[in-house]
Amino acid sequence: MVTLGSKISEKFKDVFQSGLAFQIFNRPVRNDQIWDIKIFWRLMEYNGKDIVEESEAFDELEDCLNDMLDYIHFETRTWKSEMPLIEDDGHSNINVWDWVITKEGLVVQVELDDQPDLPFKKIKRFASKTEAQNADQINTLVKELIKEKESNKASWDMYGSELCAGDMIGKENAISDKIEELRNEH
């Protein structure tokens, strides 16, 4: 009996508890003169007959599962980036699994109804699909920008006009430009 690693087992569980009708299958694929067995996934209508979406070929099961999870997280949701956080009647539009932007500029996914490390007052707006897909890179750059600003402020407080403010601002702007590029990537 073959057992899957716990990491792959968790991914299987996440995929098949998504509520979507997925199939994973393999088939031979001709690559030049060689036939390879590749792994595919398919999203089916609940009748089990109609195909909604079919993936590209994968060599590894884990790559296939990662692609399925990306599909679940980024393609099956309605993105709320243009929606207000709170309606005029005072009701919140934030739900579990929504992606939001914090006031610091971090891209965060809401994981619990009551998330102590993400109070409502820290949320600026909903994230776009592009921001959610680039969350790791954006968050790394935002943290780098915060450190750069803190370092520049401390240096300025200590040395004042002996420093080149243009160089400091240039470094901050370069990081900010990279962040904006990732936020608006198409």
What is the C-alpha separation between 139 and 72, in angstroms, rounded?
22
Q: What's this model's pTM, rounded to 2 decimal places?
A: 0.64
Q: How confident is the model over 157-185, as pLDDT tens digits?
A: 888 777 777 888 889 999 999 999 999 88
CA distance from start to end of the chain: 45
Q: How confident is the model over 80-99, as pLDDT tens digits?
A: 877 888 888 888 888 878 88
A 10 A CB-CB count for 178 gives 16
Q: What is the pLDDT of residue 173?
A: 92
